[in-house]
């Protein structure tokens, strides 16, 4: 019996082909090993590797194939100029283009706290160390020392749906980078200074700042890179209606 139906779909009940199984295992390794890097080496990423990441990320699915993302990537002295400008504006008030969550409740608040406490423990900041917490928060605007940052924007007219598509792009960007041994962290904190970012990068007012992605090579000795977050089980996020096939 053939391994797939005429339209390219796997026939019901048949095992995945070796090629499909290998592809799944590769994706499993990438999603399992990827983490948010908060300490980078100063070494730049070769342009060819950045272009390979961008090529893969550009294949991201989007509503009506709109592909709303537009990305600005900094390198070398441009990263340093942007870093300095962000640090100058770090003390300002948040002005995101997309409203922050109104409130974290229940399990979402619990997960947020667990992530924050684990980070602070890894860098030796206690709960009552306000200066230490402020210092670590400031690392966001230092881009954690990364040699590059990608600023992801979406057109104002597409609203939240453009931002959703950009979120999928960010995920694929980071997985592609991980496949090349390049570390990343997606940063909503950079979107909190949307007007500053737009002004510095010369972006028009109708390009909304979704987030930044700081990237480069991880510093394996940095204490912030020694902790990992955990994920809930699928049963905690999925509701089944009806019974799927057992095979």
pLDDT of residue 33: 95
Mean pLDDT score, 12-37: 89
Residues sharing a CB contact under 8 Å with residue 218, sequence separation 6 or more, in sequence order: 37, 39, 40, 41, 183, 225
Residue 100, both tokens: 């922050």
User: Mean pLDDT across the chain, nearest whole number?
Assistant: 93
Neighbours of 28 (CB within 10 A): 10
**pLDDT, tens digit, for every residue of 75-134?**
999 999 999 999 999 988 999 999 999 999 999 999 999 999 999 999 999 989 999 999
CA distances from 113 to 26, 110, 153, 189 (A): 31, 5, 28, 17
The 10 Å CB-count burial string (b at 16+, else e) for 97-126 is: bbeeeeeeeeeeeeeeeeeeeebbebbebe
The model's pTM is: 0.91
**pLDDT, tens digit, for every residue of 191-233?**
999 999 999 999 999 999 999 999 999 999 999 999 999 999 9
pLDDT band at residue 4, thresholds of 50, 70 and 90? very low
CB 177 within 8 A of CB 36: no
pLDDT of residue 15: 64
Q: Which burial class, exposed, middle or buried, applies to 208 when counting CB atoms under 10 A from its CB (0-12, 13-18, 19+)?
A: buried
Domain 36-102+142-221 belongs in CATH node 3.40.109.10 = yes
Q: From CA 207, how far away is CA 70, in angstroms rounded?
A: 8
CB 4 within 8 A of CB 10: yes
Vertex 185 angle, CA 181 and 191, to 5°: 150
Residue 178, both tokens: 């991980």
């Amino acid at each position: 019996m053939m391994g797939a139906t005429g339209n390219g779909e796997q026939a019901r009940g048949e095992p995945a082909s070796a090629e499909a199984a290998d592809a799944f295992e590769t994706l499993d390794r990438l999603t399992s090993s990827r983490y948010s890097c908060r300490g980078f080496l100063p070494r730049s990423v070769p342009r060819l590797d950045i272009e390979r990441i961008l090529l893969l990320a550009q294949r991201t699915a989007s509503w009506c194939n709109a592909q709303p993302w537009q990305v600005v990537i900094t390198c070398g002295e441009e990263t340093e100029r942007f870093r300095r400008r962000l640090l100058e504006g770090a003390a300002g008030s948040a002005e995101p283009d997309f409203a922050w969550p109104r409130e974290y409740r229940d399990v979402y608040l619990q997960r947020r706290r667990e992530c924050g406490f684990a980070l602070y423990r890894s860098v030796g900041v206690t709960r009552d160390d306000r200066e230490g917490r402020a210092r670590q928060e400031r690392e966001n605007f230092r881009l954690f020392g990364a040699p590059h940052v990608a600023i992801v924007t979406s057109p104002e007219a597409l609203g939240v749906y453009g931002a959703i598509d950009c979120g999928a792009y960010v995920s694929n960007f980071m997985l592609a980078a991980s496949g090349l041994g390049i570390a990343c962290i997606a940063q909503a904190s950079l979107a909190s200074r949307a007007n500053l970012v737009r002004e510095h990068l010369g972006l028009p007012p109708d390009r909304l700042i979704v987030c930044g992605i700081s990237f480069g090579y991880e510093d394996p000795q940095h204490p912030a890179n020694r902790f990992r977050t955990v994920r809930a089980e699928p049963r905690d996020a999925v509701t089944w209606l009806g019974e799927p096939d057992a095979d």
